């Protein structure tokens, strides 16, 4: 996978305060994983 941005959100992210880009990416991945698992059943 690849995400392209013209800034570096990882420089200001912390475990306690992740950048929204990472939060939304992980949420989308979890949602897609749930859809994929449901389709396999």
Enclosing domain of residue 14: 9-40
Is residue 32 one of the residues assigned to a domain? Answer: yes
Is residue 4 one of the residues assigned to a domain? Answer: no
Mean pLDDT score of the chain: 89
Is residue 3 one of the residues assigned to a domain? Answer: no
Is residue 22 one of the residues assigned to a domain? Answer: yes
Is 0.75 topped by the overall pTM? no
Identify the band that residue 3 occupies on the pLDDT scale cut at 50, 70 and 90: confident
Is residue 27 one of the residues assigned to a domain? Answer: yes
* pLDDT average, residue stretch 5-28: 93
Q: How far is residue 25's CA from residue 22's CA, in Å, rounded to a whole number?
A: 5
Top pLDDT among 30 and 37 is at 30
Within 10 angstroms of residue 9's Cβ, the number of other Cβ atoms is 13
Whether pLDDT at 27 is above 80: yes
Whether pLDDT at 1 is above 90: no
Identify the band that residue 24 occupies on the pLDDT scale cut at 50, 70 and 90: very high
3-state secondary structure of 6: coil
Is residue 16 one of the residues assigned to a domain? Answer: yes
Number of domains in the chain: 1
């Amino acid at each position: 996978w690849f995400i392209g941005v013209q800034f570096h959100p990882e420089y200001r992210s912390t475990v306690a305060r992740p950048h929204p880009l990472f939060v939304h990416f992980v949420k989308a991945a979890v949602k897609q994983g749930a859809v994929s698992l449901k389709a396999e059943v």
